[in-house]
Structure formats: C-alpha cells, structure tokens
Amino acid sequence: MAADPKYETLSRPEIRVLPSPFELFHAAADDFIAQAVAKNGKFSVALSGGSTPKSLYSRLATEKRNAVPWDKVYFFFGDERNVPPDNPESNYRMAHEVMFSKVPVSADHIFRMRGEDDAEQAASAYEKNLGSFFGLKPGEFPRFDLIFLGMGPDGHTASLFPDSAALNETRRLVAGNWVEKFKTHRITLTFPVLNNAACVTFLTSGPDKAPMVHEVLENPAANLPCQRVHPVNGRLIWMMDQGAASQLSR
C-alpha cells in the first residue's frame, strides 16, 4: 500500500509503562498474540534484534507457545548485521535460537535478510521478497501488521543511525546502510516502510535507557532517528518498564 502524502494521519504515541521487565515482556507477548489472533488471514510481523526483544521471543516460545497462531504468522526482520546467519551478532540467529527452533513455525514463514551477502545485494533481494509477499506494484510500500523496534543509546532504530545515508531514503524499501560508528554496513527497512505499518511497537527496558527515552519522547528538537517513526494511519506504541520511563515528566 502506498502512503498518500495528501492524506496523512500521523500517529500519536501510546505510552505504556509496566512496573518491571517481567511484566513488560508479558504485556508485549499478550499484545502480539491479540493482534495475530484478531487478524483474518496472514499476519505479518517484522522483528528487531537486541537483548530486549530476545526476552519477548523467549516468552512467546515457552509459556505463550500454545496461544500463538503460528500457522498464520509470517516473520520478517527490521534489520540485520552484515554477517552470516550462524554469527553470534546475527539477529536471525538470535531469533532462531530463542524462538523459531522451539515452535511449530514453517520455514517458509520466515524471511531472513541474507547478511552473508553484499549489503546492497541483500537489500535488493529483500525488497523482492517483500514485493512478492505483499503483492506490491511499483512505488508501493508494504503494510506490515506489526513492526517491533528497539532504541539504541544514540537514538537509532532498526539500522537507521544518526547521520547515515538511509535516513534520507524515500523510495527504497530496504537499504544497505553504511554505519560509520561501527565501520560496517547494515541491512535495514527504511522509514517509508516503518511508517506504513498498521502498528509499530518500541520496546525499551532498564534505567540506562531512561535518558534517551526522555529525549525521544519529550524533546522534539533532538532530531533523532527514533523520532521519525510515525506510522501513517497506524498505531505507534512505546512499551517500557519503570526503569526506562523514570525520566519522563508525564
């Protein structure tokens, strides 16, 4: 679905603060399941990497395992490091180890980014996967049912880092983005894709995230990548524990 700039209803963030990490991941798992169960037909979700979603995926694979309609969920990734799938840094490897390998999900329901390939080639290949799955016409963007995102200490999300070229991408679905901070390429969904989702959920946990949560949500002038995520005609949810929310004024 292409976003029409003449009709944009930018989302206002729904901020949910849970008392502890345990309750945060419990609530995130329940929200994921509720959305998946309510959807008629295929349910598409893009996963994020990092330690915070790892706890969510583990919860889905264990105590929530029987509640997830695995047969209609299709898993994609918001970004990937430029490494093979067996590398410890791979987002796919993390998701496979803690969730995919433990649940009855079909291999053809999992769309990984080929981090072992040249980043631009991997980005182009992933664009083709998205185009085929969502039945896109030229110029259209996919509409994910749900995208999970994290937030880095510099305000980046997915692999959209401050001052990186992909921040300015308006046509591509996926970019091979050079990240100067780490002297490497990353493969990432672009803002047009993130902002065309039906629902985007940021997960943040821990007091170390509190200063950046405050900047993103209460300092509009900060000009951080996270602040550019505002789904058009979709929901934007920030779910965090009390530690991450400790510097918010509201």
Supply the pLDDT for residue 4. 41
In degrees, rounded to 5, the angle at the alpha carbon of residue 58 between the alpha carbons of residues 55 and 62 is 140
pTM: 0.95
Task: For the chain, list the domains and their CATH numbers.
Answer: 13-241 (3.40.50.1360)
Q: What average pLDDT score do residues 56-63 get? A: 97
Supply the pLDDT for residue 6. 36
- Number of neighbouring beta carbons within 10 Å of residue 97: 16
Percent of the chain exceeding pLDDT 70 equals 96
Percent of the chain exceeding pLDDT 90 equals 94
Please, which residues have CB within 8 angstroms of residue 76's CB and are 6 or more apart in sequence?
A: 44, 45, 46, 47, 111, 130, 144
Supply the pLDDT for residue 9. 54
Contact 3, 196 (CB under 8 A): yes
Instruction: Tell me: pLDDT of 232 over 90.
Output: yes
Contact 79, 188 (CB under 8 A): yes
pLDDT tens digits along 60-113: 999 999 999 999 999 999 999 999 999 999 999 999 999 999 999 999 999 999
Give the CA diameter of the chain: 45
Count the helix, strand and coil residues of the chain and give each as a percent rounded to the nearest 5.
Answer: 35, 20, 40
Whole-angstrom CA distances from 14 to 71, 234, 236 are 29, 11, 6
Q: What average pLDDT score do residues 216-228 get? A: 96
Supply the pLDDT for residue 5. 39
Which residue(s) pair with 201 in the sheet?
148, 237
Query: Cα torsion at 192, 88, 60, 203 (round to 10°)?
Result: -50
Supply the pLDDT for residue 18. 98
Supply the pLDDT for residue 10. 61
Q: What average pLDDT score do residues 201-212 get? A: 97
